């Protein structure tokens, strides 16, 4: 579950320093807003448009009509933001990403080449390099009883101290359509989740989540 295990190449995000300075990825979540704000102020205006306060969009990014972007937000090189996207701020989107129609982002980091292409909610979450969320899959970021989120891996329980914490996806993770990742879910690299799943806890690297009671190694 540590940063070094979840993300093999920190150069695949402009937020590499946050991950280099912390042990667990959820420790980054409270720092996203201030980091994006500070980074944005340093971006060269010959490479990034600055259409509104604390919003920076790479000139090569493709933005379709009918989107909303609040700051602080950075949209990376070659990224595509499709109609109906709702970006609520404290968001860092990497290079070559797809933010799809009716997708909502809030307080999150998307590494390079991440795809959230259709009707996704990504709040208080981190999505690793080349991770992909199928249509309608969401990161649920608040527990129903509003208690602090923990991360559970078998008998191991990690206290996060966070009331809002969605999911952490490692590199090359695949999430099936219409799945719900419950608060504090961690999907390790090269794991995948079946469509229509309800996921809680940790899915180990290289495994397939078929149900909460059936998590099997990939062949």
Whole-angstrom distance, CA of residue 105 vs CA of residue 174 = 18
Work out the end-to-end distance of the chain between its first and last CA atoms, rounded to an integer number of angstroms: 22
Q: What is the DSSP string of 126-151?
A: EE-TT-EE-TT-EE--B-TT-PPEEE
Residue 118 annotated to the active site: yes
Q: How many CB atoms lie within 10 A of CB 66?
A: 9
CB burial readout 85-105, b (16+ within 10 A) else e: bebbbbbbbbbbbbbbbebbb
Strands 149-153 and 174-175: unpaired
Q: Kindly name the residue from 50, 58, 118, 129 that is annotated as catalytic.
A: 118
Contact 72, 53 (CB under 8 A): no
Rounded to 5°, angle at Cα 116 from 115 and 120: 170
| Residue positions annotated with a catalytic role | 118
């Amino acid at each position: 579950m540590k940063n070094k295990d979840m993300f093999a190449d920190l150069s695949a995000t402009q937020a590499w320093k946050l991950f280099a300075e912390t042990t667990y990825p959820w420790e980054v979540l409270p720092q996203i807003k201030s980091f994006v704000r500070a980074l944005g102020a340093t971006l060269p205006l010959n490479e990034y448009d600055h259409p509104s306060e604390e919003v920076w969009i790479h000139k090569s990014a493709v933005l379709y009509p009918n989107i909303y972007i609040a700051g602080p937000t950075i949209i990376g090189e070659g990224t595509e933001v499709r109609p109906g996207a709702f970006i609520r701020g404290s968001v860092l989107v990497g290079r070559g990403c797809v933010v799809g129609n009716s997708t909502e982002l809030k307080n999150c980091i998307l590494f390079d080449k991440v795809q959230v292409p259709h009707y996704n909610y990504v709040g208080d979450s981190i999505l690793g390099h080349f991770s992909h969320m199928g249509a309608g899959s969401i990161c649920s970021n608040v527990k129903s009883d509003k208690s602090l989120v923990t991360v559970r891996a078998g008998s191991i329980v990690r206290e996060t101290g966070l009331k809002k914490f969605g999911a952490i996806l490692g590199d090359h993770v695949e999430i099936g359509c219409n799945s719900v990742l419950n608060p504090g879910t961690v999907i390790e690299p090269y794991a995948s989740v079946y469509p229509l799943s309800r996921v809680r806890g940790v899915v180990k690297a290289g495994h397939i989540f078929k149900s909460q009671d059936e998590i099997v190694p990939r062949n």
